[in-house]
Every structure is written in structure tokens, then in C-alpha cells.
Copies of this chain bind each other. A is one copy, B any other.
Amino acid sequence: MGPVEERRRSMGTDADRSTEVREGFARSEFHRTFLGAQLERVTPGEVDVSLLVETRHLNLTGTLHGGLIATLADTATGLAFRTTLETGTTSLTSSLSVTFLRPGRPGTVTAKGRVVKRGTRFGYAEADVEDGEGRLLARAAATFTVMPEPAT
């Protein structure tokens, strides 16, 4: 570990990670332009992401496409996990599991991610996906592989 790496490790804090998450989301064409999602809340270990559901997000049956529920859950759990990473490490989502409990309708839908475990090689987070009245639309679970950040 060279001196630059060492400095980064010693500086690493939760606040840095939360800032990184906010800045990354703001730069993400996928999240901001394509998906049209909003970053509602970032605290260490918890991130909420919302989507204003419009016609283009719906199935032919008029309900929110399950893939978008999965995408919101993937985003909320992945960003929540990112806030907990130690400096010098990064992570990949290894698996995502979503159980659909109630159809989503036009209006606001929010995925609330929270980290349950952040180990040195493995992590686990969950999300509730709720509609604007706080009704539970889906429950999701994600696992992560933690690894050293590639040198840049």
C-alpha cells in the first residue's frame, strides 16, 4: 500500500461515502434521465430512492412493471451498501430477490434500502418498496461481494 492509498484509507469516513453516493447519483444518466428516479435520503446504511410512476412505466394491465420495482430495490440496496464500505474497497451486487406483494399504480413509489450486514467479503441489504400511502408493494433482498478497489 503506497502513501496515496494510505492517506485515502485514513481519511475515509461515512460522510465521504454518503457524498460519493449523492454525487454519483447526480451524474448517473441511467438513474436521472432514463429511469427518472430521485434520491430521497442518504444516511449511513440507509438510502431511499423514489420514482414518479407514469404511463411509460406500466404493464399492459396498468400496473407498475415488476422490472422497475426490481430496479428501484436494486438501486436503494446497492447505494445503501455503498455508504457502509471502508475506503479502498468496492462492491458488486451478487444477487437480488424481490417478492411482489401488491400492484403498483401511477403516483410515487419509494424503495427504502437498509444494510443488514457489511462484512469484509460479503454483504446483505434489504428494501421495502412502498407506494405514496406507505403500502408495501414489494420486499427485496440483495447480497454483495466486497473487494479491494482497483487502483486508478
Chain A interface (Cβ < 8 Å from any Cβ of B)? 24, 27-30, 33-35, 55-60, 65-68, 70-72, 74-75, 78, 92-101, 103, 116-117, 121-122, 124, 126, 136, 139, 141, 143, 145-147
Contact = CB atoms under 8 A, between A and B. Distances in A.
Contacts of A101: 116-117, 124
Contact of A124 (B66, B92, B99): B99
Given A27-B60, A143-B143, A116 B136 contact: yes
Contacts of A95: 95, 97-100, 143
A112 B9 CA distance: 39
3 shortest A-B CB distances, which residue pairs?
A67-B71, A70-B70, A97-B97
B56 A67 contact: no
Contacts of A124: 99, 101, 139
B94 A28 contact: no
Contacts of A28: 59-60
Contact of A100 (B66, B94, B103, B147): B94
B141 A139 contact: yes
A5 B20 CA distance: 40
Contacts of A117: 101
B34 A56 contact: yes
A145 B121 contact: yes
